[in-house]
Structure 1
Amino acid sequence: MIRVAVGILQRGDGKTLLMQRLPGTFREGQWEFPGGKIEAGENSRSALERELHEELGIEVGGARRRITLRHEYPGKTVLLEVWQVTHYTGQPRNIEGHELRWVEPAEMRRIGMLDADWPIVTSLELPATYVITPSPPTDDKNASAQWLDHLEQTLDLGISLLQLRCPAWSASDFGRLAKTVAHRCEASGTRLLLNGAPLQILPLSERLGTAGCHVPARCLEQLASLKKPAGLLVGASCHSAAELAAAARANADFCMLGPVLHTASHADHAPLGWPGFSALVKKVSMPVFAFGGLAPNDLETAWSHGAQGVAGTSGFWRQKAGACAVAGNQQR
């Protein structure tokens, strides 16, 4: 396996630096994020600093881990250890002859990116925190109204990605609630994903104009049998290596993996622990949110173990949303 240190450099306008692969090299002419191979006896952070100095002439002053991704090319496997560069000195320049370009994630979708780097593009489009709603009550109008008030409080505090999850609701009731929540999310600029079986949820998501859907582990084979509508974001819930593989076969854009710690809501699943989470993340080619017994203040730990960020309900909903919003802003 070839280990590669990758650097994400972003300007104040949100654009990210790409470089074009040189003629005569593997996948020549394709665009990629700066970085290079980690040499024997070298750690990932040292390799990042060396590569960005050699390629761009900059000195890395601050960086944090972003995600870890695995990619299979014919005849070789690469492990991308991706760093968010938070501070550097010097002006990036093409020391080795690469063409450089500052682009937005949407533009990356239109140019020839290196295959292994596509999940990093998805990572740039995702926040660091992913909020999952508690299931609202169905038989108490006052409690339902309070739930909607709590939703508004959460949205007002800057949540950028929300999953509506109501596993016990009928399809008709869920559809009516999803319409209400979709309107409120649209007004706040929050992307909404609907949780459920893809045969029912994908058409509903398209009809309501939501960002996409989130598929439970038990429905991943169903997702794999369907053609994913263009432009929809699809997440998946996973608890094991087998389910991560199923999510990959279904072409999910990202997944949640857990529980990392013990939680009453997933008492039937043994906690992975952070070492177990980290080991599984190194086997996948998509951004992974850690969940299970976590809160926004676990974000730094999640990043250090290869996660995109953290996801959850009890530690994120309502009054906890302020911390969640602050954590989400750290991702950019």
Structure 2
Amino acid sequence: MKRKLIHVAAAAIKNSAGEILIARRSEDQHQGGLWEFPGGKVEQGESALAALSRELHEELGIEVKEARPLIKVPYHYTDKSVLLDVFEVSAFDGEAWGKEGQPIRWVAKGELDSFAFPAANAPILNACLLPKCIAITPDLSDVDALVDFVEQALSNGAEGVMLRAHYLPVYDFEGAYKRIKGMLEGTAIPLIVNSSLEVAETLKADALHLSSSRLLDLNKRSQFSGRWLSASCHSLEQIEMAVTKDLDFVSLSPVLKTRSHPHAIPLGWELFQQMVDSCSIPVYALGGVSHRLLEQAVNCGAQGVAGISAWSQDLEE
């Protein structure tokens, strides 16, 4: 029996304080009592953005002024399939209130994890929490040089750091991790380790990024005890594997030609967008991209961009 497809537009609405608006489903609804991101069904002949604007006016009494794509989440129930077309709303007119009697709350990003959401909302939650620009450390064999790179990347606007240092002995890798973690203490900037599962567990890391070969070797999500588990992907098959194994996000590369892998065939933006559209978890553009291409990546459905070389120079040049 063919499932009925329901197209839903939803919003991660941000206020000037950076808080995100969530609403609670009524008890008589499917998955009642859980919190969700506001929105509603897309009607026949209506664009997702038009539907979102209409729903937010009807439900919350606000007029959308600025919105951009955040993530598309296909989700399958036993009797129906839902496509959640999610936008990030960064500007609106009016003061939001529950026009239909639904409780609403403005919540700091760091507190979103403490609310219960429907399972289909998990990728949206992750997309709200993850940074837009991740700096990946180059393969340096000196801990001081790694720390210097991270300091420069942060000063140039990096919102996340991935420690990738395959040439370092394990002892030095652990030392670099502790020093960088100390630098980031008191901030919301995540530190992601690109390493084996064993090293990440030893460090009690909060975030682990697996190579595509390590993704293949991963048996189940619960092998990692941290908050974030991600992987490098280069094909649709690897993306599907990451989704099946319940990872939180992936990087997809190479988008463009790179100096580090001159013989690798780039995906190009068109194929990249097609692959992102088929993925139900956040995707970072990697390979030949920098923060200057963030808007293009986001318009292709990406969570953001990740890279190495762009952060080793002044991005304001």
Do both proteins adopt the same fold according to a TM-score greater than 0.5, normalized to the shorter chain?
A: yes
Aligned to 2:199: 201
Offset at residue 314 of structure 1 (A): 1.3
Within 2, Cα distance between the matches of 1:147 and 1:95? 52
Give the counterpart letter for 1:41 in structure 2.
G
Matched, 1:152 2:132: no
Structure-to-structure mapping, 1:112-261, within 5 angstroms = 112-137=116-141, 145-186=144-185, 190-198=189-197, 200-206=198-204, 210-225=205-220, 227-261=222-256
Moved more, 83-92 or 153-162: 153-162
Give the counterpart letter for 2:196 in structure 1.
A
Structure 1 residue ranges, 4+ long, deviating more than 6 angstroms after superposition: none
Matched, 1:291 2:293: no
Report SS of the residue matched to 1:264: coil
Within 1, Cα distance between the matches of 2:65 and 2:189? 33
Q: What are the superposed Cα offsets for residues 94-127 of structure 1, whole Å, 9 maximum, x if unpaired?
A: 2223221222344432332122111111112111
Aligned to 1:300: 295
- CA RMSD in angstroms comes to 2.4
Within 2, Cα distance between the matches of 1:182 and 1:308? 23
Partners of 1:5 and 1:82 within 8 A in 2:
yes
Tell which has more relative contact order, 1 or 2 (C-alpha 8 A, sep 6+): 1
CA change 1:225–1:43 in 2 (3 A) is closer
Within 1, Cα distance between the matches of 2:136 and 2:95? 41
Partners of 2:141 and 2:167 within 8 A in 1:
no
Identity of aligned residues (%): 35
**TM-score calculated relative to the size of structure 2:** 0.88
Within 1, Cα distance between the matches of 2:64 and 2:221? 44
Within 1, Cα distance between the matches of 2:300 and 2:281? 14
Aligned to 1:54: 58
Moved more, 163-172 or 90-99: 163-172
Aligned to 1:6: 10
Partners of 2:174 and 2:203 within 8 A in 1:
no
Within 2, Cα distance between the matches of 1:87 and 1:43? 19
CA change 1:74–1:43 in 2 (3 A) is same
Within 1, Cα distance between the matches of 2:165 and 2:301? 29
From 84, 87, 105, the counterpart of 1:83: 87
Partners of 2:9 and 2:41 within 8 A in 1:
yes
Partners of 1:69 and 1:287 within 8 A in 2:
no
Within 1, Cα distance between the matches of 2:157 and 2:80? 42
Offset at residue 132 of structure 1 (A): 0.6
Give the counterpart letter for 1:121 in structure 2.
L
Partners of 2:137 and 2:146 within 8 A in 1:
no
Offset at residue 242 of structure 1 (A): 1.0
Gaps of 5+ in 2: none
Partners of 1:192 and 1:211 within 8 A in 2:
yes
Within 1, Cα distance between the matches of 2:111 and 2:30? 23
